[in-house]
Structure 1
Amino acid sequence: MRQSFYLFALKYRGGQKDDKKAKFANSMFDQHDFPKAETSFHKLSLYIEELADASMPAAVFDELWEYYVEDSKL
């Protein structure tokens, strides 16, 4: 079974303060309504666009999504 995007992105938590992926992951962790079990790009993208905190920009989500897809192929 494929790991959720949330669980994948958590590995970036606690990184350097100026690391945009770490900022995204920390903010994602703090948002209690983040869809933690989701694996669908469309559903996650809608959440990011409509409900996410400003510290979770779509460009960073897109970058993390690419890593997520690559990681899922392994």
Structure 2
Amino acid sequence: MQDSFYHYLLTQRSDDQADLVSIFAHNAALDHAFPKQSQNYHEITEYLELTAGYLPSMDVFDDAWQRYLDNC
């Protein structure tokens, strides 16, 4: 069984503040309402579009999602 997107995203945190996915991962880790068990692109997209003010662009999510798929 594949890990949730959130679990994968946590592996992308780093001290490199130049990487937007790393910044997204850091902020998602602080977001207690993030859909932590989801593997569903549409569910996570809807959540981020409606509630995640910390994401500067959905392009960052799309990049992180592609990395997640490549890692599976």
TM-score, with structure 1 as normaliser = 0.88
- Report deviation, 1:53: 2.3
Partner of 1:19: 19
| Gapped regions of structure 2 (runs ≥ 5) | none
Aligned residue pairs total 72
| Contact map agreement 2:21 2:60 (CA 8 A) in 1 | yes
Change (3 A) 1:6 1:40: same
Equivalent residue for 2:4?
4
Q: CA deviation at 1:56?
A: 5.3
Identity of aligned residues (%): 31
Segments ≥4 residues shifted beyond 6 Å: none
The equivalences for 1:1-74 within 5 A come to 1-55=1-55, 57-72=57-72
Q: TM-score scaled to structure 2, two decimals?
A: 0.90
SS of match in other structure, 1:12 = coil
